[in-house]
C-alpha cells in the first residue's frame, strides 16, 4: 500500500473514530515497543493506550460505563500478570457496554485450548505473534488497517 493510499484511508472515517483509542493489553515491553513502532510507521491516527496487566485492562470497564469512548479495538495478550487474558476477555464480553468492542487476541500461545476458549468467550480474531521482526510489523500493520480503517464498527 502506498503512503497516499494510507493517508486516504485514514481520512475515510470520521473524527469520532479517530479519537477512539486502541487498547493494547500487553506485559512484554519488547512487544509493546514493536507494536507502537509498527503503528508509528503507518502514522496511525488512533491513539494507543497501553496497559500492562489484566487488572489494568479491567479497570477501563467502569470508565466506559461512565461514558468514556470505547476503544476501536482491544489487542489482548493471553499470558498476563494479575488477571490472565482469557479472564479479561470473559469479563469484557460479559459487560453490555463492551460486548461489541472487537477483541483481537495477539499472543504467543498457539495452544488449541486457548484458541477454542478465546473464540468461545467472544474473541473476534486470534493471532499468534510472529517471532520474526518484519513479519510481526506486517501483522500489526494489517491488524490496524483492518480494525481501524476497513472494519465498520457499531460505535
Model confidence pLDDT, tens digit, residues 118-155 = 999 999 999 999 989 889 888 988 888 888 778 777 77
Model confidence pLDDT, tens digit, residues 33-42: 988 988 888 7
What would the pLDDT profile of 45-59 be if each residue is shown by its tens digit?
788 999 999 999 999
Using pLDDT thresholds of 50, 70 and 90, give the confidence band for residue 98: very high
Which residue ranges make up each domain of the chain? 3-150
* Whether the predicted pLDDT of 114 surpasses 70: yes
> Under the phi-then-psi rule, with left for phi > 0, alpha for psi from -120 to 50, and beta for the rest, what region is 13?
beta
Q: What is the pLDDT of residues 62-90, one digit of tens each?
A: 999 999 999 999 999 999 999 999 999 99
CB within 8 Å of 84: residues ≥ 6 apart? 54, 78
Superfamily of domain 3-150: Response regulator (3.40.50.2300)
- What is the predicted pLDDT for the residue at 140? 86
* Lookup: cell for 89: 476477555
What predicted TM-score, i.e. pTM, was given to this entire model? Answer: 0.85
User: Strands across the sheet with 22-25, in order?
Assistant: 48-51, 22-25, 73-76, 103-107, 125-128
The count of other CB atoms within 10 Å of the CB of residue 7 is 11
Amino acid at each position: 500500500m502506498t503512503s497516499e493510499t494510507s493517508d486516504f484511508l485514514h481520512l475515510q472515517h470520521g473524527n469520532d473514530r479517530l479519537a477512539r483509542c486502541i487498547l493494547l493489553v500487553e506485559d512484554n515491553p519488547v512487544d509493546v515497543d514493536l507494536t507502537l513502532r509498527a503503528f508509528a510507521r503507518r502514522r496511525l491516527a488512533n491513539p494507543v493506550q497501553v496497559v500492562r496487566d489484566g487488572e489494568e485492562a479491567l479497570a477501563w470497564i467502569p470508565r466506559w460505563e461512565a461514558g468514556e469512548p470505547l476503544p476501536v479495538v482491544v489487542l489482548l495478550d493471553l499470558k498476563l500478570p494479575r488477571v490472565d487474558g482469557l479472564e479479561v476477555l470473559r469479563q469484557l464480553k460479559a459487560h453490555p457496554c463492551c460486548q461489541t468492542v472487537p477483541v483481537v487476541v495477539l499472543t504467543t500461545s498457539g495452544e488449541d485450548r486457548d484458541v477454542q476458549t478465546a473464540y468461545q468467550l467472544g474473541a473476534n480474531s486470534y493471532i499468534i505473534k510472529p517471532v520474526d521482526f518484519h513479519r510481526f510489523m506486517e501483522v500489526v500493520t494489517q491488524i490496524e488497517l483492518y480494525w481501524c480503517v476497513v472494519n465498520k464498527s457499531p460505535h
